[in-house]
Each structure stands twice: as structure tokens, then as C-alpha cells.
Structure 1
């Protein structure tokens, strides 16, 4: 069905939300803000980290710096969702390609993939170092499409948030909403999957 799979990273390939939420809650506490953890989680899923800062009228650049400092304070490294490696391997075995499009730094993404021996399964990682506008702006996706001469009908963006689906639509590629958390509703993706076996069905079709 598809030849090119462009993956979001956090919350899609790797279970990073518990650690990310810890970072956000510590950051908000530093601003003397008491917030509901589940509400912050929903904002992150529906929108973005910038929306958390906006909700509390905080400067996003300073807020982000503080969050990043907490995020790197030696908590355990996140791990991939069970079955992720096998899923990426199935794509490569069919002669198709995986890419990652993330707001996480490329260097930290590479390190996490190396620890689970998955880096060789990824053709390219696009992160903030590339200086593209953040999703749902399609610029980063368009870069991959043009660089690898992808057929948009055979290219799919996969992610767990609204902005991932919108980025795919804005770039004119297919979209899969990867709903592992059952938090969001009414997502206008081309496909919705809730388990890795469901994702494997699409890969093998």
C-alpha cells in the first residue's frame, strides 16, 4: 500500500509521555502553577507544548528551556512500545523505507534508537536542527517528499497527535492516527489504528 513511512517519535514509536509529563509538571511547579496532569496530557495530544505555555500566559522560549533542563535530569531513558522494532523491520523487509519527523533533537533520537538497535531501520531523521517550522507546517514533510522523490499517494505520516495528522494533510500525503492512548476523538486521518497488529495489517497489505 505504502512505500514511505514517516513516523512521529514521541508517543508513537517510543513511550516518552510519562517522562515528558514529569518534566512539564516540574516546570509548571517552578512557575508556582498547580496543574492537572491529565489536562496537560490532553493539551499535548490535542495541540503542542507551546499550547501549555500559552494556557498559563508563559513565554514559550523560557518555558521550553526550563522544561528541557528537567527533561535531561537523568531520568530513565524511554523505551519503544513493544513490537515497534518488528514493525519497522517488516517495512524494511518489503523494500520500503522509514523516516522520523520529530520535535526531539536528532542527536537524542539517534541515541535512543542505537540503544535498541533500530537506527539502521531509519533512512533519515528530521528534527529541530533542520530549522523547519514545527508541525503541522508541512515544510519538513515536503523536504522529505522532494528529497526522496516520494509518490505522495504512497507516502504516509504516522503520529499520535492532531498536529501529525494535519502535517500529513498539509503536505498532501496520507495520514495514520496512531491512537495508543485512547485520548483523542474525531481525528480526520485517512486511517486510525490502535494497536501494532493493526499497523502491521496496513504494512502487509
Structure 2
């Protein structure tokens, strides 16, 4: 099985860190659950909704770069799936160096044959160009993401899709926990 993965919120539980940083940048008493709700659509959506200035967006990214990698944890049981797959690839909007640093820290880099990162020049999701590129190279079977934005391009190119910790309609499968992955692929 060849799997395309999103990174933030799918392989790694980054949203708690992102939510705290976003709240710090907002400098108000917006509840974290309201920030998380907007971030789960997309970072761009959240910045527009909360009307962040370019300076605030830059401040967010500078604070994000200071977060120790040890605070960015992989989801439980995700490594079992990575080791099961024949090929794993990542498509993320995150910069390549940040992805590579996190993967290396957890020794997950050995599981991925290719990464398409935010600074690689592909259009942003939900455009399917990066998915098409990866599918042509690796004959992908499955795409896993935590947002509709992650599965729309996968559906467009004919992949089976799975939403992780998200029940929005549109995916072929839904998982709240990776320990249940093997039961859905046997269906």
C-alpha cells in the first residue's frame, strides 16, 4: 500500500501548539477551541477570520520556529502504519526544513520516499498538482489528512481517502485513532 500523508494534525499533533501560539499573537481572550476550529479549516482561513496583519502572521511563524521539536508529538500508533506501508509520501504546506527536522528527531525520516513541502513551488491544496505528481511517481492507493482540504485533491485523482479526527462528509473512511487503521483497510 502506498500512502499520501498530510503532516500537521495528521502525522503530528501540532494543533495544540499552533492554537497556543495563535492565541498569544491575538493578544486577547479568544477561547482556544474557537481558534482551533478556524485553524482546522486552514491557517489562511484562521488568519483571515481573525484579521491578522502581515506582521502578526510573521510573528506567529517566528514563535512557531522557537517551539522545541520535543513538544511536537507524533500521534499514537501512526508509526505502525508507516512501517506497514510500502511507500509513504508527504504533501504539506509546512516548509521542508521544518518537516525534515521533525521527522529526523523522531527517526521517522526512514519511512518516507518523498516530501512535497510548502516551499517546493506547487500550488496550495486543494489544488491537485502536487497529488498528481506524487501519484504518477508512486502509484498511490490512499490519502490521509485531517481536513477536507487534504482529501479534495486525493478524491479528484481517484485515491481512497481517510479523514483523521474529523467527521466532515466527503471521505471514504474516518479514523479518530490510528489503532483502528488496519480494520478499515480490510473492508
TM-score normalized with structure 1 length: 0.82
After TM superposition, the structure 1 = structure 2 runs for residues 138-153 of structure 1, keeping only pairs within 5 Å, are 138-148=128-138, 150=139
Gaps in structure 1 of 5+ consecutive residues: none
TM-superposed deviation, 1:56: 2.7
State the partner residue of 2:58. 65
Q: SS of the counterpart of 2:168?
A: coil
TM-superposed deviation, 1:88: 0.7
1:114 has 2:104 as partner = yes
TM-superposed deviation, 1:25: 0.9
Query: Pairwise CA RMSD of aligned residues?
Result: 1.9
8 Å contact kept, 1:26–1:70: no
**Structure 2 counterpart of 1:127, from 105, 117, 127:** 117
After TM superposition, the structure 1 = structure 2 runs for residues 1-205 of structure 1, keeping only pairs within 5 Å, are 3-29=1-27, 33-45=28-40, 47-59=41-53, 61-75=54-68, 76-91=70-85, 96-148=86-138, 150=139, 155-179=141-165, 184-203=166-185
Give deviations 1:1-28, integer Å, cap 9, x for gaps: xx32000111111111111111111111
Count residues in correspondence.
186
Q: SS of the counterpart of 1:189?
A: coil
8 Å contact kept, 2:167–2:174: no
TM-superposed deviation, 1:138: 0.9
Q: SS of the counterpart of 1:85?
A: helix
8 Å contact kept, 2:38–2:49: no
Give deviations 1:89-136, integer Å, cap 9, x for gaps: 122xxxx21111112111111111112211111111111121112111
TM-superposed deviation, 1:204: 6.0
Give the whole-Å Cα distance in 2 for the aligned partners of 1:48 and 1:173: 22
Greater mean deviation of Cα atoms: 115-124 or 164-173: 164-173
The 3 A distance-change label for structure 1 pair 167 and 28 is farther
Give the whole-Å Cα distance in 1 for the aligned partners of 2:111 and 2:20: 30
TM-superposed deviation, 1:203: 4.9
Give deviations 1:66-89, integer Å, cap 9, x for gaps: 210111224443121122212211
TM-score normalized with structure 2 length: 0.89
8 Å contact kept, 1:175–1:191: yes
